[in-house]
């Protein structure tokens, strides 16, 4: 098998890699905010339960969570395994990444000086107005480097979908590597991820620059 064939075959799975990547971000970024809110809830029970859930999600392998979400319904309830594995894969990724994003959001929100809240309160801003207009924009600027970190990790983590045989790029590469007894597909995969992450870095760098108009 020539290099060109390998690249083309693996390229077929690239769309699915991108699907995992973008759908995970689409769901986990907002879900993370919700989880952060629950984590900071004044209700002790809600905050504690959320803290435990985050702890489990961060403390166990994503690979295990992928298996659990994909095959759990079968072993637990005898349901058939989803035909389109993208659904359980994205669910597992979104939940896992939401846990990490939640902690980043929380750190950012808690780092805001109390004076910002007080200034807004005295001026008559409602709590929602204060959060959306005063706090959140500043939090986003503060946490952007940490978010970039997670996004870069996510690019590489998409390869974990091979554990449930979802036909994304790395899964295909692994199959070729096995059948051809070749290491080349792994090198190709490495280049794919690296280029993808160069683009991520470039994009996030531009966003960071745009937010650099104030300090």
Partner 1 sequence: MSRLLEINHCRKSFDGSEVLTDLSLCVESSQVLSIIGPSGSGKSTLLRCATLLETMDGGDLIYDGTYAARDMGGRAVYAPPAQLQKVRGMFGLVFQNFNLFPHYTVLKNIMEAPMLVQKRSRKEVEAEARALLDQMGLADKADAYPFQLSGGQQQRVSIARALAMNPKILFFDEPTSALDPELTGEILRVIRALAERKMTMVIVTHEMAFARDVSDWVVFMNGGVIIEQGPPAEVIDHPGQERTIQFLRRMREQ
Residues in touch with partner 1 (CB under 8 A)? 113, 115-116, 118-125, 129, 133-134, 137-138, 141, 213-215
CB distance 53 to 59 below 8 Å: no
Q: What's the min distance (Å) between Cβ of 128 and partner 1? A: 11
Residue number, 1 or 132, with CB nearest to partner 1: 132
Q: Which is nearer to partner 1, 87 or 134 (CB)?
A: 134
Query: What gap in Å lies between CA 194 and CA 175, rounded to an integer?
Result: 21
Q: CA 105 → CA 28, 38, 92, 131, 144, distances in Å?
A: 12, 12, 20, 13, 10
Which is nearer to partner 1, 78 or 113 (by Cβ)? 113
CB of 124 to partner 1, least distance (A): 4
What does the buried/exposed string (b/e) look like for 98-110 if buried means 16 or more CB atoms within 10 Å of the residue's CB?
bbbbbbbbbebbe
Cβ at position 123, least distance to partner 1 in Å: 4
Residue 188 backbone phi and psi in degrees, to 5: -60, -45
Yes or no: say if 21 and 154 are a contact pair by the CB < 8 Å rule: yes
Q: Where are the alpha helices (DSSP H) in 41-85?
A: 44-59, 62-77
Nearer to partner 1, 138 or 182 (CB): 138
CB of 143 to partner 1, least distance (A): 14
Residue 29 or 134: the one with the smaller Cβ distance to partner 1 is 134
Residue 213 CB, nearest distance to partner 1 (Å)? Answer: 7
What gap in Å lies between CA 101 and CA 95, rounded to an integer?
Answer: 10
């Amino acid at each position: 098998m020539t290099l060109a064939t390998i690249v083309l075959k693996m390229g077929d799975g690239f769309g699915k890699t991108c699907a995992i990547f973008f759908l995970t971000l689409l769901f986990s970024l907002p879900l993370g905010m919700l989880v952060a809110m629950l984590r900071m809830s004044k209700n002790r029970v809600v905050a504690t339960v959320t803290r435990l859930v985050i702890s489990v999600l961060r403390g166990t392998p994503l690979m295990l969570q992928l298996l659990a979400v994909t095959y759990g319904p079968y072993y637990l309830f005898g349901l058939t395994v989803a035909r389109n594995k993208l659904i359980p894969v994205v669910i597992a990724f979104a939940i896992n990444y939401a846990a990490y994003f939640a902690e980043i959001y929380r750190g950012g929100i808690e780092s805001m000086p109390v004076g910002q809240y007080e200034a807004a309160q005295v001026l008559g801003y409602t709590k929602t107005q204060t959060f959306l207009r005063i706090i959140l924009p500043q939090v986003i600027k503060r946490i952007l480097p940490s978010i970039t970190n997670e996004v870069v990790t996510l690019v590489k983590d998409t390869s974990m979908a091979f554990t449930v045989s979802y036909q994304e790029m790395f899964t295909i590469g692994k199959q070729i590597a096995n059948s051809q007894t070749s290491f080349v597909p792994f090198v190709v995969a490495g280049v794919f991820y690296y280029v993808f992450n160069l683009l991520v870095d470039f994009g996030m760098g531009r966003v960071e620059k745009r937010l650099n108009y104030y300090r």
